[in-house]
A and B are shown apart, each in its own frame.
Chain A
Amino acid sequence: MLRIAGTEFSSRLFLGTGKFSSSDVMAKAIEASDCQMVTVALRRVDLTNPEDDIMSTLAKREYTFLPNTSGARDAKEAIRLAHLARAASGTSWLKLEVTPDPRTLLPDPVETLKATETLVKDGFIVLPYMNADPILALKLQDVGAAAVMPLGSPIGTNQGVLTDSMIEIIIDQAKVPVVVDAGIGAPSHAAYAMEMGADAVLVNTAISVAGDPVAMARAFAQAVEAGRTAYVAGMGQRNKQASASSPEKGNLSADLGFLE
């Protein structure tokens, strides 16, 4: 079972709540996905208002509520937003997003590291959104991030896991869970990330803008589960050359005639 900061999750699919046509569709999609962790942009909700559309919809079920700092341009802004979110919602969970470029929304590594360090000291459970940079992942882990969330490709682009060779290194090295976030546009992308050994994936746009978001949420749930099962089962290596299912021994060998 996936474990982040002492909390266990049986579902390895996390959902974002943006871009849905209505909070009703959002609620149904979340329901269909079986997910247990939902992220909400602080800028989109009024945490102090119990009648808030998104919040009141989410409150009907037991999710780990993961506020995010989407829109913050530097560490200072993100830290301020985080404290406001905790005061209003009571949760210490935080998806840290520091995105100074409003066009690409790519995460700022320097400010993200700074903010993570401070927020961990302030008692937050910090899950930083980051570029797929293995050294940054280790540094975030070192300052106390509860998980790392490297992007597969720029957010909202549906391009899939373009950063796979770097994400592979992050997965191999990290002690904390690795959640692939952003760019996952199809269930096959999610399955691919899970087959690589990602601990979870976070999906938003691909579900919210699908023709049938509820059916798509279910498809993602199935893909994430299939990918995880394949990873645990141990996948065969991809080869450029054909090789027989029942290979004969003796090929591809080295000369060991010198051995005693």
Chain B
Amino acid sequence: MFKPPEFKQLIAETQNTSSSDVERALTAARPTIHDLAALISTAGEAYLPQMARRSTEITLARFGRTTQLYAPIYLSNYCTNRCVYCGFSADNLIKRKCLTIDEAEKEAMILHNRGFQHILLVSGEAESAVDVEYMEAIALRLRDKFAAISIEIQPMSEEHYHRLFLAGITAVAVYQETYDRKMYKEVHLSGKKSDFDYRLETPARGAKAGMREVGIGPLLGLSDWRAEGLAIGYHLDWLRKEFWQTAFTVSFPRMRPAAGEFEPLHIVSEKNLSQLIFALRIFDQDVGLLVSTREEARYRDGMLGLGPTRYSAGSCTAPGGYGSNNTDGEQFSVGDHRSLEEVSTMIRNKGFDPVCKDWDKEFQVKSL
């Protein structure tokens, strides 16, 4: 199983680097985890423009002038976990809702009609509302209408992931939130999510179950972001070695205002976030890097082509929000409010192709 180094050691690794380490990392043909540490470090900050340049070159070479687009569908905001930073936390007095299969299909068809082919099904973590049968039923209902369907729900067993894979789910995203074990305990007060190790082993279970793509990521704002970034590098490296047939993505959610009034414990600036994205791109040329609508339009426009490869667009983070135009019970408020059409126009204006379809339902066996 994947055993990340102690968080203290990760912090130390990002501190014991010099500008010559950064310069070497910038030109390394096959960057190592130590190069990643240098690029993420304080010493790396002074090289942000050079890192951006290198990251841009690599991204262009590996992904071309394209950006993939997707949208999330929030199925349910019921949650049995108490996590101090999350709008869905069981303690929060928000309007709870779990879509029926028909309602979920309606929401999906709204996105379909807007032109989306890749969707991400998201829910709070409450098995009484969202379990494997429920997800399976939705996947079977939607599989012929979309090119790819990802999920970001509670961690599941390998067996359940495999069932969902057979039902048409292509990818699993599960974010560790923080690789700082001590902080993890402090912010995950109760519920299944408070088990650090079970969550840490989830990406491997998804990959083992046959998922085409697995997404990992830290929630930026909980602990030292440089160490989180390095932990992601270690995790990615391990996953790649163990599951060479799986594609991997990394997301970088920065904490946004949410119900519960939780303030980020560590401020992560746009410069910090960019340094992290550039560093990971240089470290891993092929990993998919996601930037969601948590970030503002100005930032997303500026970062286009510099490292990220996939954007969400026109997102609403409340269950049923696309049909009702109501954001009550949302997980967080978004920073980029533009529609798919507006984001696509921006991407085209910058000389890039907004890609809505980059997979096909026919890849997956229909065996249920």
A258 touches B52 (CB 8 A): no
Of the candidates B46, B52, B241, B271, the one whose C-beta lies within 8 Å of that of A254 is: B52
Tell me which residues across on chain A come within 8 A of B24, comparing CB atoms.
Answer: 234, 236-237
A256 touches B302 (CB 8 A): yes
Tell me which residues across on chain B come within 8 A of A172, comparing CB atoms.
Answer: 30
* CA distance in complex: A236, B244 (Å): 28
Q: Closest residue to A171 on the B side, CB-wise?
A: B30
Of the candidates B48, B49, B241, B298, the one whose C-beta lies within 8 Å of that of A258 is: B298
* CA distance in complex: A68, B56 (Å): 48
Q: Return B163 CB to nearest CB of chain A, in Å.
A: 24
Say yes or no for A7: interface residue by CB 8 A criterion.
no
A249 touches B48 (CB 8 A): no
Q: Return B27 CB to nearest CB of chain A, in Å.
A: 4
Q: Answer whether A239 and B27 are a contact pair too, CB < 8 Å, given A173-B241, A254-B49, A254-B53.
A: yes
A259 touches B241 (CB 8 A): no
A260 touches B269 (CB 8 A): yes
A260 touches B53 (CB 8 A): no
Q: Closest residue to A173 on the B side, CB-wise?
A: B244
Tell me which residues across on chain A come within 8 A of B49, comparing CB atoms.
Answer: 250, 253-256
B244 touches A259 (CB 8 A): no
B271 touches A175 (CB 8 A): no
Say yes or no for A168: interface residue by CB 8 A criterion.
yes
B28 touches A253 (CB 8 A): no
Interface string of A84-122 (1 = CB under 8 A from B): 000000000000000000000000000000000000000
Q: Return A44 CB to nearest CB of chain B, in Å.
A: 37
* Chain A residues with a Cβ closer than 8 Å to the other chain, count: 22
A254 touches B244 (CB 8 A): no
Tell me which residues across on chain A come within 8 A of B306, comparing CB atoms.
Answer: 254
* CA distance in complex: A23, B210 (Å): 53
* CA distance in complex: A62, B274 (Å): 56
Say yes or no for B131: interface residue by CB 8 A criterion.
no
Q: Return A196 CB to nearest CB of chain B, in Å.
A: 9
B29 touches A256 (CB 8 A): no
Q: Return B240 CB to nearest CB of chain A, in Å.
A: 7
Q: Return A45 CB to nearest CB of chain B, in Å.
A: 38
B50 touches A252 (CB 8 A): yes
B23 touches A247 (CB 8 A): yes
12 more contacts with CB within 8 A, not counting A250-B49, A259-B302, are A138-B244, A175-B242, A237-B24, A237-B28, A237-B29, A249-B50, A252-B50, A252-B53, A256-B49, A258-B301, A258-B302, A260-B299
Interface set of A (CB-CB < 8 Å, partner B): 138, 168, 172-173, 175, 234, 236-239, 247, 249-256, 258-260
Between-chain CB contacts (< 8 Å), 14 pairs: A138-B244, A168-B30, A237-B28, A249-B50, A251-B50, A253-B49, A254-B52, A254-B56, A254-B306, A255-B49, A259-B270, A259-B302, A260-B270, A260-B299
